[in-house]
Structure 1
Amino acid sequence: MKWEEVCDNKQLQNLPFKIELNKWGQIVMSPVKIKHSFYQGRIQRLLESLLQTGEIMPECAINTSDGVKVADVVWCSEERFNQIEDEVSASIAPEICIEVKSMGNTLDEIEFKKQLYLEAQAVEVWLCNEQGQIQFYNEQGQLDQSLLVPDFPREIKR
């Protein structure tokens, strides 16, 4: 299956699951809980308060070497956004790709997605665990803080 077919399929719309494709075109669904949505929304609002340029988007479909993955939140520079805005799924990852770990995710899955986003030219990948703690990564490895948004907190609090 292709991403365009997933997007156009009426039966796959409005599901309470995050849908992605693996490299064989198989649909992978991940259910999310309220806390996942809370962290996703809070991260998006924090980014909006800290960044004056670029585009912040939830649920961004990104082409990777393992099929289309959907980052929970992304930040994209104006330049990169102009490149991908009319695409069905991003041919190049936004500069910041953020994943919020769900109960259904294993650490290996999250680590794999981090590598896929970096491979797809993300500059940073942020991982939020189930307690709201954020870890920041780039091609060189783990960072003490984001280099692109240095004021972003290391923990999302209620």
Structure 2
Amino acid sequence: MPALTWDEICADRSLADLPYKIETNRHGQIVMSPARHLHSRQQSDIHARLAKLSTSGYLLVEAAVQTTEGVKVADVAWGSDAFQEAHAQDETLTAAPDLCVEVYSPTNSKAEMQEKVVLYFAFGAKEVWVCDMKGRLSFYVSPTTVSEVSALFPQFPAQVVGQQ
């Protein structure tokens, strides 16, 4: 099957009800990750906590970002008012929101998550968070630097709901 554009993938009704998050790789091939209960709980917890802390900007769930390595979908994202104004018409974001959050699933590798961190920063993210299976957050302030607290949301806890 030839590679599809992101718009073609989004328009394909046969892909609409899959219980998977869909991304693409650099070759335009579809990559799917099965949804799991813990992943959904962590994603929801992070979104809810960010909603309480953000006084401006816009929160996103499943934010599709076009990168040089395909479309990557941040589990949770926050964009400033300026970001939202600049990208309001994007079907697929052409830049990464100010904050991109990735939540580990059992199928994710450390290399895959690190690649996403690098890509989000390369496409304009100011901060990237990675949530592990135990709910511990790593606050990346650059592709290689992890801070103990978030620069964008310093009140955000370093731990959310996790695997017992």
Query: Residue 157 of structure 1: CA displacement?
Result: 3.1
Counterpart in the other structure of 2:50:
47
The two structures, once aligned, show a CA RMSD in angstroms of 1.0
Report the count of equivalent residues. Answer: 158
Q: Does residue 88 of structure 1 match 2:94?
A: no
Task: Give the conservation status (yes or no) of the 8 Å contact 1:96–1:126.
Answer: yes
Q: Which segment is superposed worse, 135-144 or 23-32?
A: 135-144
**Distance in 1, Cα, partners of 2:55 & 2:33:** 32
One-letter amino acid matched to 1:59: E
Moved over 2 A (4+): none
Equivalent in 6, 9, 17 of residue 9 of structure 2: 6
Task: Give the conservation status (yes or no) of the 8 Å contact 2:141–2:151.
Answer: no
Task: Give the conservation status (yes or no) of the 8 Å contact 2:42–2:160.
Answer: yes
**Distance in 2, Cα, partners of 1:114 & 1:103:** 18
TM-score (normalizing by structure 1): 0.97
Q: Which runs of 5+ in 2 are unaligned?
A: none
TM-score (normalizing by structure 2): 0.94
Task: Give the conservation status (yes or no) of the 8 Å contact 2:46–2:160.
Answer: yes
* SS of the residue 1:20 aligns to: strand
Query: Residue 63 of structure 1: CA displacement?
Result: 1.1
Task: Give the conservation status (yes or no) of the 8 Å contact 1:3–1:88.
Answer: no
Counterpart in the other structure of 1:131:
134
